[in-house]
Amino acid sequence: MYEIRIHSRGGQGGVTAARMMASAAVKDGKFATACPFYGAERRGAPIVSFVRIDDKPVRIYSQINKPDMIIILDPTVMDTVDVLDGLKEGGKIFINTNEETPFPPGFKVFRGDLTGIALRENLVVSGSAIVNTPVIGALAKLGLFTRESGVEAITDTFTDPRNTNAAKAAYDEVIV
C-alpha cells in the first residue's frame, strides 16, 4: 500500500485533488481511497487529506501517520504544521514552489511551481490560483498514475480545458 498525505489550506482544493488522485489510480486498475480529514477548519486554515493506493481493496479508515509521500500544496502551512511528521525514511516530498526549499536529508524532494502555472493558464477562482488540477499532472510525472488516467480524472470533474492545460504544463515542468 502506498500512503500519501496532502497538506493544503481550506478552499485550495486539496480534497478534490485527493479525489482525482484516487480516481486516476483506480483508472489504472488499482484500488484507492481518498479521505479528507474534516476538522473545524474553514477557508484558509491548514487541512490534511489522505490518499491510499493499493493492489487490493483498502480496508483502513484511520488517518495516515507514516506516509510514503507528502504533498505540500501551500508551503506556508509549514510555518504551523510539522508536515514531515511520520514521513518514512526515503519518502517523497512534493512541494508547490518556484524556489528550492531546504528539507532534512533522507527524503526525495520534488517541486513544481503550480501556483505560477495556474496564474499563467488563468486558472483563478475568486482571486485564488487553483492548484489541484496542476498537481495531478505533476504526480503523473512522478509515476503515481499514468498521464492518461490523470487527465481522465480531471475531465471527469472539470470541463474547462484550462485545468487539463495546467496539468499538462505541470507534467512537463515538474523538477525531478
Partner 1 sequence: MSGKLTMSTGNKAVAAAAKMAKPVVVAAYPITPQTEIIETIADYVASGEMDARYIPVESEHSAMTACIGASITGVRVFTATSSHGLLYMHEMLHWAAGARLPIVMGQVNRTLAPGWNIWAEHTDALSQRDTGWLQIYVSTVQEAYDATLMAFRIAEDTRVLLPVMINMDGFLLSHIMQPFEMTEPGDFIPPLNLPHKIDVLDPKGYGAMSPANVHYQFRFDMEKSMRASRTVIDETETEFKKRFGRTYKPVDEYLTEDADVIIIALGTLGKEAEVAADLLRKEGIKAGVMRIRWFRPFPLDMNIKGKELVVIDRDYSFGFGGVIAGEIQARYPDAKIASIIAGLGGQEVTYEDMAAFVKNRKTGTEFWFGIPQEEQ
Q: Which residues pair with 125 in a beta bridge?
A: 128
**Does residue 6 belong to the site contacting partner 1 (CB under 8 A)?**
no
The CB density around residue 51, as the number of other CB atoms within 10 Å, is 28
Nearer to partner 1 by Cβ, of 61 and 105: the residue is 61
Verify binding: residue 123, partner 1, rule CB under 8 A: no
- Asked if 26 interacts with partner 1 (CB under 8 A), we say yes
CB 12 within 8 A of CB 45: no
The smaller minimum CB distance to partner 1, of residues 54 and 160, is found at 54
How far apart, in whole angstroms, are the C-alpha atoms of residue 154 and residue 59?
Answer: 26
- Identify which range of 31-39, 95-103, 143-151, 162-170 contacts partner 1 by CB under 8 A: 31-39
* Closest separation in Å from C-beta 65 to partner 1: 7
Does the protein bind partner 1 through residue 159 (CB under 8 A)? Answer: no
Contact between 117 and 169 under an 8 Å Cβ cutoff? The reply is: yes
Query: Using an 8 Å Cβ cutoff, are 1 and 32 in contact?
Result: no
Site of grid cell 490523470: 150
Compute the least distance from the CB of residue 31 to partner 1, in Å. 7
Q: Which residues contact partner 1 (rule: CB under 8 A)?
A: 18-19, 22-23, 26, 31-36, 38, 57-63, 65
